[in-house]
Chains A and B, each alone.
Chain A
Amino acid sequence: MPGNDAYQHDVLVIGGGGAGLRAAIAAAEESGRLSIAVLSKVYPMRSHTVSAEGGTAAVMRENDSLDMHAKDTIFGSDFLADQDVVEAFVKEAPGEVIQLEHWGCPWSRDPDGRVSVRPFGGMTVNRTLYAADKTGFHMLHALFQTSLKYDKIVRYDEWFATSLLVEDGRVCGVVALNVHDGTVRAITAKAVIICTGGAGRIFSFTTNAAIKTGDGMALAYRAGAPLKDMEFMQYHPTGLPGTGILITEASRGEGGHLKNKDGYRYLQDYGLGPPTDKPVHRKMELGPRDILSRCHIQEHQKGRTFEGPYGHYVHLDLRHLGEKLIDKNLPFVRELVKDYVGIDPVYEPIPVRPVIHYTMGGISTDIDAKTRLEGLYAAGEAACVSMNGANRLGSNSLTELLVFGARAGRAAARHALERPAVSSNPVAHLVSDERKRLDTRFLRADGRERIADIRDEMRKAMEDGCGIYREKATMAQTCDTLRRLRERFGRIGLMDRDAVFNTELIAALELECMLDVAAAVAHSALAREESRGAHTRTDFPKRDDARFLKHSLAYRTPDGPRVEYLPVTITRWPPEERKY
């Protein structure tokens, strides 16, 4: 019940993936006096961090330096990363990955017992720690299992946050639906941290889990916080056709080759060559993801890709690596390809195509994970602290969720320690409003529009207008389509009216979030008249620093997103042309 102590906390984390759990532990360690809660629409160990494969970057060796990691990240970002943020990130990264080691993460090891490092796309030296090719899985379970030792971390497993509680411009908790019994409650907190991950599910072909529907982004956006750099959706060059299942970049780091239908390593034709037997940092298959994804499309336009039931694809060839290496460092790749494509990568090349992988934009935060709304913080893929800019380097995201998850947890804890408790009277009123909204819009509505139809059309519109190559006319059409889908969503009808575990209601709420986030992506993309990183326009093929060396900020308005801009912070690396 509202006002009941059980639903009052000092710090409330929404999302129990890598960033959320890291934030919760950081808050718990910041002060013994705080009550901390983690609310997640799934059990935390089911979060999408579990699917990350390749590794997590940090400067660990003598041949590396913080400046080198910073420069690679900034260069990879196409100079859209905030350089003060990147500097803080690379500095805190080694401590965070070692902390995780102390919490039991089974990092792969060198013979002398040190944690191993492997090459990754866009990086100049080996700096990616890994746990075979199940890095995210091991990190998430290590974090989750470690979180169990903190008694004061309370969990709301399988609860869905439907709106933020905002009073006098201050965020003071959420209204959330308990999926198990359908009750709606206010959960108050002096500080709220959103760690709900990205929004890859607004596209048809994605490596993202079903749960990645941008819920947290939409929560903040509706409450008035802007979404930053949403036009930058990253394609990963090697997903399985059809399912979109990720074949990790580590398979190229270990020496895998991309080949067209003639068996030719085509990347050499796009300024990434010459081909070598051993992988070379930042060359050929170890180029950054945005460039490799564009090469794929151009190769397709030249008629040199394969055609399959799910469209065009190329080959990722691991055969020359040998069974022993594949089993040691890429066992999950072998398992996935055997299970889902029915071939063994030891003997046959893997069909791959670019698929949506990562949302570089997100809730705009400062370097301490603070948003524009008092009391609201965000970290991980849901946030945009501006370290990935226009293109994230592989293996920086797992480190990002550690570094900025911890920063968010500490900042929110300090904020909570300074604040009085939230008063419960206005909160009760907000809860009954939200209950009414859910009932009238969904559970008692008699609309005829189906979730699946609107969802499919939204995804198609995003693929059509906001894919690897973009242009004004198709993007404008996508914006229009999204507007019409939003109207149709108002006439949605559910078959399921039950209180207990109503997953159709959850799907409707998720779709509502996706429609908001998709609109922010499409409008931000339409407004950016240049090509930078993952945002490539055929009508504006050059990067335009004079007009667009700045972050976009999308604000929600009743007439659709309003796009404003924010300068990029440059400290020591002046923008230069990005060549590999």
Chain B
Amino acid sequence: MREETITLEVTRYRPGHDSEPRTESFAVPYQKDWVVLDALNHIKDQLDGTLTYRWSCRMGVCGSCGMMVNGVPKLTCSAFLRDYYPGPIRVEPLANFPVIRDLVVSLDDFMEKLRRVKPWLIRAVEKPVSEGEYRQTPAQLEDYKQFSMCINCMLCYAACPVYGLAPAFVGPAAIALAYRYNMDSRDEGYKLREPILSESVGVWECTFVGECSVVCPKGVDPAAAIQRSKVAGAKDWAMAMLMPWGGRR
């Protein structure tokens, strides 16, 4: 009996060899419990050892294996072949990023932006460890918890039309993480992050398409973080205009 197969149309690009990305088709065994990543691993192990992509945890938490699957940003370790049957399945590198090779994109830009939004707890005075934890109620935890779930998989950037047009835009994941720290009851760094978020390439750049939140595999809502940061930023601006002492709190 012949084994049932499904076709993957994979983008190939070798710098120095290809002037343009091209598409190569591979037929892989169709297994209902396989994810797209399993199919790529099959290709690499059995058919073409030069196929290049990133992956690691295979359980949707390390954030390595994001790619475009039929035009939609997905973690390939949780995109099941059965949901694309009978295929073909188009697998491309994440949109809006420079391609290094095949399905691997450069994260340099994001790594730089992440550092710029100061995603760490900022305190005027740090309490010594010997004095124990900062108390934080479950409700205070809930205020920022959702935004701390970001795995830096970059699907939101691949879905963001603004980032596609204006790469200087700080972007959904970095803004969501800045917002996460701003909302943390232990943090006092709002004033230090605010200038980065409110500059021209910050939150105001967002036209609220909301695709970032739609594609997020972890239920983070970066669009909400961006909108709420706009509200906070606008309030600061208004306070600065109206109040004689510049609205300093």
Residue of B nearest to A309 (CB): B33
- Measured between alpha carbons, how far is A501 from B132 in the docked complex, in Å? 45
Q: Which of B2-10, B136-144, B230-238 contacts A (4 or more CB under 8 A)?
A: B136-144
B85: Cβ under 8 A from any A Cβ: no
Residue of B nearest to A242 (CB): B33
Q: Which of B19-27, B50-58, B163-171, B199-207 contacts A (4 or more CB under 8 A)?
A: B50-58
A114: Cβ under 8 A from any B Cβ: yes
Closest CB-CB distance, B143 to chain A, in whole Å?
11
A1: Cβ under 8 A from any B Cβ: no
B249: Cβ under 8 A from any A Cβ: no
Chain B residue contacts of A103, Cβ below 8 A:
120-121
Contact of B136 with A51 in the complex, beta carbons under 8 Å: no
Chain A residue contacts of B137, Cβ below 8 A:
109, 111-113
Knowing A149-B118, A209-B62, A210-B55, say if A109 contacts B141 (CB, 8 Å).
yes
Contact of A98 with B129 in the complex, beta carbons under 8 Å: yes
Residue among A106, A245, A496 making CB contact with B144, cutoff 8 Å: A106
Contact of A146 with B120 in the complex, beta carbons under 8 Å: yes
Chain A residue contacts of B63, Cβ below 8 A:
45-46, 50
A556: Cβ under 8 A from any B Cβ: no
Closest CB-CB distance, B111 to chain A, in whole Å?
7
Chain B residue contacts of A332, Cβ below 8 A:
61
Contact of B120 with A145 in the complex, beta carbons under 8 Å: yes
Most buried by B among A102, A115, A138: A102
B196: Cβ under 8 A from any A Cβ: no
Residue of B nearest to A47 (CB): B62
Contact of B120 with A114 in the complex, beta carbons under 8 Å: no
Instruction: Name B2-47 residues within 8 Å CB distance of A.
Output: 14-17, 33, 44-46
Contact of B50 with A99 in the complex, beta carbons under 8 Å: no
Instruction: Name A408-451 residues within 8 Å CB distance of B.
Output: 450-451
B49: Cβ under 8 A from any A Cβ: yes
Contact of A104 with B120 in the complex, beta carbons under 8 Å: yes
Closest CB-CB distance, B35 to chain A, in whole Å?
9
Knowing A109-B137, A148-B115, A245-B59, say if A503 contacts B121 (CB, 8 Å).
no
Chain A residue contacts of B45, Cβ below 8 A:
450-452
A224: Cβ under 8 A from any B Cβ: no
- Measured between alpha carbons, how far is A210 from B111 in the docked complex, in Å? 23
Chain B residue contacts of A115, Cβ below 8 A:
133
Contact of A50 with B49 in the complex, beta carbons under 8 Å: no
A22: Cβ under 8 A from any B Cβ: no
B60: Cβ under 8 A from any A Cβ: yes
> Which DSSP category, helix, strand, loop or mixed, fits chain B's interface?
loop
- Measured between alpha carbons, how far is A498 from B51 in the docked complex, in Å? 11
Instruction: Name B76-127 residues within 8 Å CB distance of A.
Output: 78, 100-102, 104, 107, 111, 114-115, 118-121, 126-127
- Measured between alpha carbons, how far is A341 from B141 in the docked complex, in Å? 30
B135: Cβ under 8 A from any A Cβ: yes
Knowing A51-B57, A103-B120, say if A46 contacts B144 (CB, 8 Å).
no
Contact of B100 with A48 in the complex, beta carbons under 8 Å: no
A42: Cβ under 8 A from any B Cβ: yes
Residue among A48, A95, A104, A504 making CB contact with B121, cutoff 8 Å: A104
Contact of A504 with B141 in the complex, beta carbons under 8 Å: no
Knowing A42-B64, A99-B129, A106-B148, say if A498 contacts B59 (CB, 8 Å).
no
Residue among B16, B46, B48, B151 making CB contact with A500, cutoff 8 Å: B16
Closest CB-CB distance, A346 to chain B, in whole Å?
17
- Measured between alpha carbons, how far is A434 from B15 in the docked complex, in Å? 25
Residue among A102, A157, A495 making CB contact with B49, cutoff 8 Å: A495
A269: Cβ under 8 A from any B Cβ: no
- Measured between alpha carbons, how far is A243 from B57 in the docked complex, in Å? 11
A211: Cβ under 8 A from any B Cβ: yes
Most buried by A among B17, B133, B135: B133
Contact of A210 with B121 in the complex, beta carbons under 8 Å: no
B229: Cβ under 8 A from any A Cβ: no
| B186-203 vs A, Cβ < 8 Å mask (1 yes, 0 no) | 110000000000000000
B152: Cβ under 8 A from any A Cβ: yes
B245: Cβ under 8 A from any A Cβ: no
B221: Cβ under 8 A from any A Cβ: no
Chain B residue contacts of A62, Cβ below 8 A:
none
Chain B residue contacts of A111, Cβ below 8 A:
137-138
| A137-156 vs B, Cβ < 8 Å mask (1 yes, 0 no) | 11001000110110000000
B181: Cβ under 8 A from any A Cβ: yes
- Measured between alpha carbons, how far is A111 from B17 in the docked complex, in Å? 61
Contact of A495 with B50 in the complex, beta carbons under 8 Å: yes
A108: Cβ under 8 A from any B Cβ: yes
A101: Cβ under 8 A from any B Cβ: yes
Contact of A498 with B133 in the complex, beta carbons under 8 Å: no
Knowing A48-B57, A451-B49, say if A157 contacts B111 (CB, 8 Å).
yes
| A211-244 vs B, Cβ < 8 Å mask (1 yes, 0 no) | 1000000000000000000000000000000110
Residue among A101, A141, A336 making CB contact with B59, cutoff 8 Å: A336
- Measured between alpha carbons, how far is A180 from B185 in the docked complex, in Å? 40
Chain A residue contacts of B134, Cβ below 8 A:
101-102
Residue among A101, A146, A336, A501 making CB contact with B60, cutoff 8 Å: A336
Residue of B nearest to A456 (CB): B45
Chain B residue contacts of A210, Cβ below 8 A:
55-58
Knowing A145-B119, A209-B57, A243-B58, say if A452 contacts B46 (CB, 8 Å).
yes
A339: Cβ under 8 A from any B Cβ: yes
Residue among B101, B132, B151 making CB contact with A98, cutoff 8 Å: B132
- Measured between alpha carbons, how far is A104 from B120 in the docked complex, in Å? 7
Chain B residue contacts of A211, Cβ below 8 A:
56
Chain B residue contacts of A45, Cβ below 8 A:
62-63, 151-152
Closest CB-CB distance, A236 to chain B, in whole Å?
13
Chain B residue contacts of A114, Cβ below 8 A:
133, 135
Closest CB-CB distance, A113 to chain B, in whole Å?
3
Residue of A nearest to B15 (CB): A500
Residue among B58, B115, B186 making CB contact with A209, cutoff 8 Å: B58
Chain B residue contacts of A108, Cβ below 8 A:
138, 141
A580: Cβ under 8 A from any B Cβ: no
Contact of A504 with B50 in the complex, beta carbons under 8 Å: yes
Contact of A339 with B78 in the complex, beta carbons under 8 Å: yes
Contact of B133 with A98 in the complex, beta carbons under 8 Å: yes
Contact of B129 with A149 in the complex, beta carbons under 8 Å: no
Knowing A102-B126, A500-B15, say if A148 contacts B114 (CB, 8 Å).
yes
Contact of A104 with B181 in the complex, beta carbons under 8 Å: yes
Chain B residue contacts of A104, Cβ below 8 A:
120-121, 181, 184, 186-187
Chain A residue contacts of B130, Cβ below 8 A:
95
Chain B residue contacts of A340, Cβ below 8 A:
59, 78
A134: Cβ under 8 A from any B Cβ: yes
Most buried by B among A113, A180, A246, A335: A113
Closest CB-CB distance, B31 to chain A, in whole Å?
10
| A236-266 vs B, Cβ < 8 Å mask (1 yes, 0 no) | 0000001101100000000000000000000
Chain B residue contacts of A109, Cβ below 8 A:
136-138, 140-141
Chain A residue contacts of B64, Cβ below 8 A:
42, 46
Question: 3 tightest CB-CB pairs across the interface, nearest first?
Answer: A113-B135, A452-B45, A495-B49
Sample of 10 further A-B pairs with CB below 8 A, known A47-B62, A51-B59, A500-B16: A102-B133, A110-B138, A146-B120, A148-B114, A148-B118, A180-B100, A210-B56, A451-B45, A496-B50, A502-B52
Can you name 12 A-B residue pairings with CB atoms under 8 Å? A47-B62, A48-B62, A50-B63, A104-B181, A106-B144, A106-B145, A109-B140, A146-B121, A148-B118, A210-B55, A451-B49, A501-B52
